[in-house]
């Protein structure tokens, strides 16, 4: 088949790894349209506030973004929005001072070629520091994504390598806990062996898509799949 998209991304690769059939449905049969849920809205406004903080150093404008969001959505989830505001305040006091003078690039967004893949990999890195640290901001509940093995960061490290000619020194998640208002940073060193595995993973996914390999994968994620009502789990067909 002709490749159905003009690029790949970390999110689309991870979706294929979770269930090729859902990837096929979302990107080929009925391209998904993201609904602006409250959770997505909270994540977006927090990211915008942090981006503005690193761009201009203006704390008050970040607070205003969150207050404005609360005025539009507070009747639905006032507590969650208030906690995001607390996250922003705590980030400004506890984490931002360590990075404010080390900003290399903010929202580093581009596409990078991967050998054997006919479309580029699109990426967006929230923050790159002058000493080679990659940062991604995560708004999370009580569970947080593990950084010990992160396909996302290994692909970002590859993109950084292609741009700078060297691997980044470190990759970090900066967590904002929506339930408590707490913030935390957690990182790992970057290894070439893991970066090469991530590149091979993208190559394998691209090959599977090109060869029409869309066999469903069943698991707990099926309970949350938007296509579960029309997916024949017994015979593996949609």
Q: What is the pLDDT of residues 209-235, one digit of tens each?
A: 999 998 888 888 788 787 777 776 555
**Mean pLDDT score of the chain:** 88
Asked whether residue 160 is domain-assigned, the answer is yes
Total domain count, the chain:
1
Copy the structure tokens of residue 52: 């503005």
Q: How many angstroms separate the CA atoms of 78 and 80, rounded?
A: 6
Whole-model pTM: value is 0.87
- Cβ-count burial of 206 within 10 angstroms (0-12 exposed, 13-18 middle, 19+ buried)? buried
pLDDT over 70 (residue 37): no
Distance of CA 21 to the CA centre of its chain: 21
Asked whether residue 112 is domain-assigned, the answer is yes
Q: How many angstroms separate the CA atoms of 128 and 168, rounded?
A: 9
pLDDT over 70 (residue 74): no
Copy the structure tokens of residue 70: 């609360």
SS3 of 90-105: HHHHHCHHHHHHHEEE
Q: What is the pLDDT of residues 76-118, one digit of tens each?
A: 667 778 899 999 999 999 999 999 999 999 999 999 999 999 9
Asked whether residue 236 is domain-assigned, the answer is no
Asked whether residue 153 is domain-assigned, the answer is yes
- Cβ-count burial of 126 within 10 angstroms (0-12 exposed, 13-18 middle, 19+ buried)? buried
With cut-offs at 50, 70 and 90, classify the pLDDT of residue 238.
Answer: very low
- Domain span at residue 81 reads 8-211
Query: Residue 129 sits in a domain of what CATH number?
Result: 3.90.320.10
pLDDT of residue 115: 94
| Helix boundaries (H) for the chain | 10-18, 20-24, 38-56, 59-94, 96-99, 151-164, 192-210
Q: What is the pLDDT of residues 156-169, one digit of tens each?
A: 999 999 999 999 99
Asked whether residue 83 is domain-assigned, the answer is yes
């Amino acid at each position: 088949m002709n490749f159905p998209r003009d690029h790949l991304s970390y999110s689309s690769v991870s979706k294929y790894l979770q269930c090729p059939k859902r990837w096929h449905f979302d990107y080929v049969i009925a391209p998904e349209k993201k609904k602006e849920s409250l959770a997505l809205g909270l994540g977006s406004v927090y990211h915008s506030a942090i981006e503005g903080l690193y761009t201009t150093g203006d704390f008050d404008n970040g607070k205003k973004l969150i207050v404005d969001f609360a005025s539009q959505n507070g009747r639905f989830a006032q507590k969650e929005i208030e906690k995001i505001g607390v996250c922003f305040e705590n980030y400004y006091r506890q984490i931002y001072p360590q990075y404010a003078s080390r900003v290399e690039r903010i929202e580093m967004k581009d596409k990078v070629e991967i050998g054997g893949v006919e479309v580029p990999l699109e990426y967006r890195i929230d923050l790159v520091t002058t000493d080679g640290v990659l940062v991604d901001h995560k708004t999370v509940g009580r569970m947080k994504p593990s950084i010990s093995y992160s396909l996302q960061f290994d692909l970002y490290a590859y993109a950084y390598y292609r741009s700078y000619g060297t691997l980044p020194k470190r990759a970090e998640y900066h967590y904002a806990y929506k339930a408590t208002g707490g913030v935390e940073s957690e990182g790992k060193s970057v290894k070439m062996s893991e970066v090469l595995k991530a590149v091979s993973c993208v190559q394998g996914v691209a090959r599977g898509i090109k060869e029409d390999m869309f066999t469903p994968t069943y698991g707990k994620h099926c309970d949350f799949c938007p296509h579960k009502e029309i997916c024949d789990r017994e015979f593996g067909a949609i």
